[in-house]
């Protein structure tokens, strides 16, 4: 562990803040900036796990076939035994070390996790240690394979145990399986023991500038608005409008949105029919400028005001 | 009409956040490219020049995120920066480990130190195993039929209180009709079976160590029952010559798993000044290292059993092998572990 990351994990451990929204976790970097990590959904983790198990089985079979071929070449007898022995041992080795080694090499990822864009990280934003990766993968044995065995062939679970003990053991193993749903960070027992969590890392794209004026499509705004009109709307509506404009909406949709805005802010043009797209783009630019300007003065208007402006304004 | 209502002419100026984005956008794209490359092709594929720029690009992007959060209302921009910063953060602040270096350091430092650290837990699990062995031995000596309550029929391979001396002896010195196929699948099965029991010993310890106690005691009882049956027929020396060459390694592995289990149970039961979860996270990592070491021992034991025991018949050679492995493990875990622990910096002990 390097000096910097050691320092960091100490700092960060002091400052773990609460979960902001369900499905998110905040980590404060050493620079003092809070970053939000999105907790991976159970479904994505399940798919990633199935992919990984598939890889393990495929690799084991491949090793088994290599062993089989070798035993054919060197000695005709005992081929079946060699095949089963090699497959069995490599299955065991792969199952034990596949996750551990890949997660060490690929900084918390395996084939399945890469495919699903998931990553194992330290729950406090610190360094991901080898020990943590070993533990979180070893406990999978008891979380998954043991309950599976207990469900499918209960008699082998604890041979000769009284029924009551067997039932208790079954409930106990179920508790492990259900653990991810019992805590807000979707941590399974291995994650709890190793203090890790699995985050999803979708790649966000930087889209084109939302402001049409900045994009340079038009030279000047065609429609103008008073501050009073602009103050009818808040940041929430601004960003809804941003998303709306980015979706290349239909003329009809833009018409009905601009009609709503015109009614609410009592906007009166020169009487000519308006171009809905240009109107919305101009309104977005003006509203964003107004809200950002107010933000600099520490005034943060989150949402719209109730009602509409009376006709005397504008 | 109000006097102070000023008309905002959207024509001339654009929002500050637009200019902010224009000035910095190139650096963000540079950072994104470097991270994409690290994620897809690994850190080694990144040029030294780019690697040098990574920290400063990361810091400037992080400060851009701060500014954007405070002043920009472009949601896509803020989201993009948050995503980019999180990815960069994980690149910059997770230490990069060379695979071979990790394995070597694990073998020469982490493992012996971790085992040395759990020496008292190891002592405890040894005592419990011995208790199981003594209880079963005493019972079998007095009442040979008790054997079946301790040992599964499948595991006993036909051996039991009704076996004659010759039958028992035949098993102990079997293997002269050497067959590679039988051997490999048998030891393969044994290896995975025992290693799984050991890992279970650890993994089940989250139930405050009770299953660990049970498994240790039971394994001890199997040993004791076998010893009882054989000692009734005067085969004690022969039995241990059959058992110990690989048994030293294998029992050590079982005991290590038990010790790791007790460490976890202790972490949950007696968290001290930390919270239970914090303590579990710290001790759990140590225990995990011990269990991985135990898995390695199980594999070695399987190899010894498969290739040594069945081909060596001399009792003296078998005991020599047992003694040799005992010395090696004592040197590795006891002496090297003690030495590394003495040499270690305080923070290395915490991991």
Which residue in A has a C-alpha nearest to residue B111's C-alpha? Answer: A131
| Residue pLDDT, tens place only, A220-265 | 777 888 888 888 888 888 888 888 888 888 888 888 888 888 888 8
**Which of these three, B93, B119, B139, is where a domain ends?**
B93
- Half-sphere exposure in the Cβ direction for B281 (13 Å, CA): 18
How do A196-200 and A118-122 pair as beta strands? Answer: antiparallel
Q: Are residues B36 and B132 in the same domain?
A: no
**Closest chain A CA to residue B187:** A85
ipTM here: 0.75
- Determine contact: A26 vs chain B, CB below 8 A: no
Claim to verify: residue B284 and residue B269 sit in the same structural domain: yes
Q: Are residues B65 and B127 in the same domain?
A: no
- Token output for A243: 């998303």
Q: Which of A8, A35, A191, A201 to mutate to test the interface with B (most CBs of B within 10 A)?
A: A35
Does a structural domain hold residue B3?
no
Pair (B110, B84) in one structural domain: no
Asked if A289 and B13 come within 8 Å (Cβ–Cβ), the reply is yes
Q: What is the pLDDT tens value at each position of chain B, 351 positions in all? A: 343 334 444 444 567 778 888 888 899 999 999 998 888 887 778 888 988 898 899 999 999 998 888 888 888 888 899 999 988 988 887 666 666 777 788 888 888 999 999 999 999 999 999 999 999 999 888 888 778 777 766 666 667 777 777 777 776 776 544 444 444 555 555 556 666 667 666 766 666 677 778 878 888 888 888 888 888 888 888 888 888 888 899 889 889 988 988 888 888 888 888 888 778 778 887 888 888 888 888 878 877 876 676 677 788 888 888 899 999 999 999 999 999 888 887 766 655
Residue B206 lies in a domain: yes
Residue B89 inside a domain? The answer is yes
**B5 inside domain:** no
CA B194 to chain centre: 15
Across the interface, which of B14, B94, B192 has its CB nearest the CB of A89?
B192
Q: How many contacts, defined by CB atoms under 8 Å, are there between A and B?
A: 255
Give A296 to chain B, closest Cα distance, Å: 7
A158 φ, ψ (degrees, to nearest 5):
-125, 100
Domain boundaries, chain A: 24-200, 212-296
**Does one domain contain both B287 and B338?**
yes
Note whether B89 and B105 are same-domain residues. no
Q: What is the pTM of this model?
A: 0.70
The answer to whether residues B180 and B64 belong to one domain is no
- In this structure, the answer to whether residues B131 and B280 fall within a common structural domain is yes
Sign of the alpha-carbon torsion through B53, B57, B58, B59? positive
Are residue B73 and residue B205 in the same domain, yes or no? no
- Pick the last residue of a domain from B65, B93, B121: B93
Residues B89 and B184 in one domain: no
The three-state secondary structure class of A245 is helix
Judged by CB atoms closer than 8 Å, whether chains meet at A82 and B12 is answered as no
**Domain end: B43, B77, B93, which one?**
B93
Q: Report the domain count for chain B.
A: 2
- Is some CB atom of chain B closer than 8 A to the CB atom of A179? no
Please check whether residues B111 and B58 belong to one and the same domain. no
Q: What's the domain range around B209?
A: 100-350
Instruction: State the Cα torsion B252-B258-B263-B265 to the nearest 10°.
Output: 180
Q: Flag whether residue A310 sits within 8 Å of chain B, measured between CB atoms.
A: no
Q: Does A216 touch chain B (CB under 8 A)?
A: no
Interface contact flag, B110 A138, Cβ < 8 Å? no
């Amino acid at each position: 562990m390097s000096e910097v990351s050691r320092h960091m994990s100490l700092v960060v451990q002091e400052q773990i803040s609460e979960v902001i929204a369900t499905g998110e976790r905040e980590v404060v970097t050493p620079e003092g900036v809070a970053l939000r990590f999105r907790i991976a959904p159970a479904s994505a983790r399940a798919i990633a796990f199935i992919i990984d198990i598939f890889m393990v089985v495929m690799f084991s079979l491949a090793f088994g076939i290599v062993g089989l071929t070798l035993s054919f070449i060197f000695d005709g007898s005992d081929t079946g035994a060699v095949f089963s022995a090699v497959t069995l041992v490599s299955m065991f080795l792969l199952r034990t070390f596949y996750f551990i080694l890949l997660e060490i090499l690929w900084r918390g990822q395996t084939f399945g996790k890469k495919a699903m864009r998931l990553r194992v990280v330290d729950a406090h934003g610190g360094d991901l240690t080898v020990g943590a990766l070993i533990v979180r993968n070893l406990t999978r044995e008891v979380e998954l394979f043991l309950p599976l065995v207990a469900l499918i062939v209960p008699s082998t679970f604890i041979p000769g145990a009284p029924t009551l003990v067997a039932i208790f053991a079954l409930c106990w193993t179920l508790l492990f399986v259900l653990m991810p749903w019992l805590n807000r960070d979707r941590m399974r027992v291995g994650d709890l023991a190793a203090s890790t969590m699995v985050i999803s890392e979708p790649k966000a794209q930087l889209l084109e500038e939302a402001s049409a004026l900045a994009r340079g499509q038009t030279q000047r705004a065609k429609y103008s608005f008073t501050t009073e009109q602009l103050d009818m709307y808040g940041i929430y509506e601004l960003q809804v409008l941003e998303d709306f404009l980015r979706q290349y909406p239909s003329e009809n949709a833009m018409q009905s949105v601009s009609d709503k805005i015109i009614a609410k802010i009592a906007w009166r043009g020169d009487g000519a029919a308006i171009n809905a797209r240009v109107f919305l783009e101009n309104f977005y630019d003006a509203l964003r400028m107004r809200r950002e300007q107010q933000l600099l003065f520490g005034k943060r208007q989150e949402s719209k005001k109730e009602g509409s402006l009376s006709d005397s304004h504008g | 009409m109000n006097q102070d209502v000023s008309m905002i002419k959207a024509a001339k100026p654009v929002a500050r956040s637009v200019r902010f984005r224009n000035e910095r956008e190139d650096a963000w794209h540079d950072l994104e490219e470097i991270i994409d490359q690290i994620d897809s092709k690994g850190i080694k594929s990144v040029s030294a020049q780019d690697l040098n720029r990574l920290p400063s690009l990361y810091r400037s992007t992080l400060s851009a995120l701060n500014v954007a959060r405070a002043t920009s209302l472009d949601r896509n921009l803020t989201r993009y920066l948050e995503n980019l910063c999180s990815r960069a953060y994980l690149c910059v602040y997770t230490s990069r480990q060379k695979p071979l270096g990790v394995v070597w350091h694990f073998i020469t430092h982490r493992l012996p130190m971790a085992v040395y650290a759990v020496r008292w837990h190891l002592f405890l699990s040894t005592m419990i195993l011995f208790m199981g062995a003594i209880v079963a031995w005493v019972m079998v000596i007095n009442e040979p039929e008790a054997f079946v309550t301790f040992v599964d029929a499948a595991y006993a391979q036909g051996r039991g209180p009704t076996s004659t001396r010759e039958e028992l002896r035949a098993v102990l010195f079997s293997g002269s009709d050497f067959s590679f196929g039988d051997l490999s699948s048998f030891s393969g099965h044994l290896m995975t079976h025992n290693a799984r029991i050991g890992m279970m010993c650890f993994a089940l310890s989250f139930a405050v160590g009770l299953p660990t106690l049970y498994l240790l005691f039971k394994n001890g009882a199997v040993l004791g029952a076998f010893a009882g049956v054989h000692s009734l027929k005067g085969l004690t020396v022969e039995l241990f010559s059959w058992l110990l060459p690989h048994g030293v390694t294998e029992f050590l592995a079982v005991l290590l798993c038990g010790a790791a289990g007790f460490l976890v149970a202790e972490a949950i039961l007696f968290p001290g000044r930390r919270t239970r979860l914090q303590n579990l996270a710290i001790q759990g990592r140590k225990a995990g290292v011990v269990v991985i070491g135990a898995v390695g021992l199980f594999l070695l034991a399987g190899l010894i059993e498969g290739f040594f025991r069945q081909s060596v018949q001399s009792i003296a050679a078998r005991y020599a092998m047992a003694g040799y492995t005992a010395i090696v493990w004592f040197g590795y875990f006891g002496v090297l572990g003690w030495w590394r622990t003495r040499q270690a910096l305080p923070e290395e002990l915490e991991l």
